[in-house]
Amino acid sequence: MISLLALGVAASTGLFLRASEAWHSAQQQATRAEATAAFLRDIMINADPRESGAGHDASLRDALTQATKRIEARFAADPAMEASVRLTAGEIYTGLQDFPTAVLHHRRAALLLAHMLGESHPRTLEARYRLGEALSNASLYDEAGEVLEAADGDAGARLDEDDALGLAAARAHGRFELLQAKSETATDHYEEALRRLARVAPDDARNFHALSLDLAQGYVRIGRQEEAVVLLEKLQEEARFADAGVSDARRATAKLHYGAALLHSGRLEKAESVLAEALPALAAAFGPESTQLAEGRGVLGNLYAASGRWAEAAPLIAHVRETTCASLGLEHLNCLMAGGNEGVILVQLGKAMEAIPRLTAARDAFDRLMGPASPGVHVLNYYLAQALLDMGDGGAAAPIVEGLDPALLAAGSPGDEWSVRLDALRGWAMILNGEPEKGRRLIEAALAQMKGAAMQSWIIDPFRRVLSSENL
């Protein structure tokens, strides 16, 4: 009886302790939620033009700046609350695409949590993964890689055991790889993130929406166009995601990516129709001068380019480059991509002299950021070689052509026609470099394959012109 009583007391004590721990955990979560709510109230008050110091044209960014100035003083005695609010501020700045400022807040949050809880505490590790993601968004890839590698090391086996932690890790690694155009590994990470999410929070439509957007980008880049289209079609359920709290901005972004996936799958008419809906939605959600709207115009410009409508594409892509580079900086991946796209269009418009410096700058930056074997480097080198050939510089073009890989070209610009296009480009270089007969035969054979595959005229026409000029 005594032993049974002792067991009963022990069980009761254990239940009491677990209940007490749960109560304290709930109290901590409630306190963190209240601190975050207070911070968000500060933002809204600062955005109200009726409030002192707000001004008649107060913006969310201005209000956020004013609110974040008070974080350290307000939570000086409560570092746990400061960390929670810093994480919220970092996410808001990410949404505003102010990535350097987002990094500052995520860095501070990770530092505070590490000091309080230790480097290996789950909350600290999740904050470190979010810091790695923020660094990737800011194109600080070397530091991002170091942060993620260190977090993985401290997490150890818990990455397999703790789905919430595994989700944070997979998401951060996916972003790190995706932004460096390492699309195969990025796709693996995002698929893992969605599997973890299904176990941790199967009804979390907001995170499902965000992760699916990034996964779809990976699918597009590695040629899995149909999977991207199917995934993005699911995100077009406006009522479902609006009811779940997915913002107008995120839903507009999903529509843009759906249009882009349709473009990459070759459904140009449907893509143009979807983009016609996406652009006004992006303008309403982000503003007429936003980088998000610029990205949308860039997709439309790429659609025009894919249709051979180069004159329509040129002003759109030029505007995208100016807007994106002014907002994100000259070394940001999106700025570099816009400059490279503009160079490609200039080649097609017969403006090789203008195209060469843009293509060279973009190629060199991609090489520096992602290495010579990245798909972006190969695509840019293809059009750089074409521009050099247009200028009659076969000597400079030939080694570039010989270094091109059809598989990497297809990864950077989906399609299965790259081998024959390379043959034609190689033949053009031979003609300029003293092997006209051999070069002509190579181009003629390539043109026959291009016609048989019903390739678009803008791909074929440059090589037709080369043969025509040879026959004059």
Higher pLDDT, 182 or 389: 389
- Greatest alpha-carbon pair distance for the chain in Å reads 111
Kindly provide the b/e burial profile for residues 326-350, where b requires at least 16 CB atoms within 10 angstroms of the residue's own CB: ebbeeebbbbbbbbbbbbbbbbbee
% of the chain beyond a pLDDT of 90 = 56
pLDDT attached to residue 286: 86
Predicted confidence band of residue 93 (pLDDT cuts 50, 70, 90)? confident
Most confident of 38-42, 50-54, 251-255, 414-418: 251-255
Predicted confidence band of residue 58 (pLDDT cuts 50, 70, 90)? very low
CA distance 46 to 67: 7
Over 90: is that where the pLDDT of 422 sits?
Answer: yes
Over 70: is that where the pLDDT of 268 sits?
Answer: yes
Region 285-309 average pLDDT: 87
Over 80: is that where the pLDDT of 52 sits?
Answer: no
Q: Please measure the distance between the N-terminal and C-terminal CA atoms of the chain and give it in whole angstroms.
A: 111
pLDDT attached to residue 272: 96
Region 115-130 average pLDDT: 95
Higher pLDDT, 136 or 415: 136
Region 266-275 average pLDDT: 94
Predicted confidence band of residue 86 (pLDDT cuts 50, 70, 90)? confident
Are the CB atoms for 417 and 459 separated by under 8 Å? yes
309 conformational bin, left if phi > 0, alpha if psi -120 to 50, beta if neither: beta
Q: What is the mean pLDDT of the chain?
A: 85
pLDDT attached to residue 30: 45
Are the CB atoms for 254 and 211 separated by under 8 Å? no
Kindly provide the b/e burial profile for residues 390-402, where b requires at least 16 CB atoms within 10 angstroms of the residue's own CB: beebbeebbebbe
Over 90: is that where the pLDDT of 67 sits?
Answer: no
308 conformational bin, left if phi > 0, alpha if psi -120 to 50, beta if neither: left
pLDDT attached to residue 38: 55
Question: Hey, what amino acid is at 262?
Answer: L
CA distance 365 to 435: 33
Burial class (CB in 10 A: 0-12, 13-18, 19+), 157: exposed
% of the chain beyond a pLDDT of 70 = 86
The alpha-helical segments, DSSP class H, found in 391-456 are: 394-402, 406-412, 418-432, 436-452
Predicted confidence band of residue 247 (pLDDT cuts 50, 70, 90)? confident
pLDDT attached to residue 40: 54
CA distance 346 to 127: 44
pLDDT attached to residue 47: 38
Predicted confidence band of residue 50 (pLDDT cuts 50, 70, 90)? very low
What does CATH list as the number for 30-201? 1.25.40.10
CA distance 304 to 312: 6
Predicted confidence band of residue 172 (pLDDT cuts 50, 70, 90)? very high
Over 80: is that where the pLDDT of 399 sits?
Answer: yes
Over 90: is that where the pLDDT of 391 sits?
Answer: yes
Domain ranges of the chain: 30-201, 203-286+294-299
Over 80: is that where the pLDDT of 102 sits?
Answer: yes
pLDDT attached to residue 471: 56
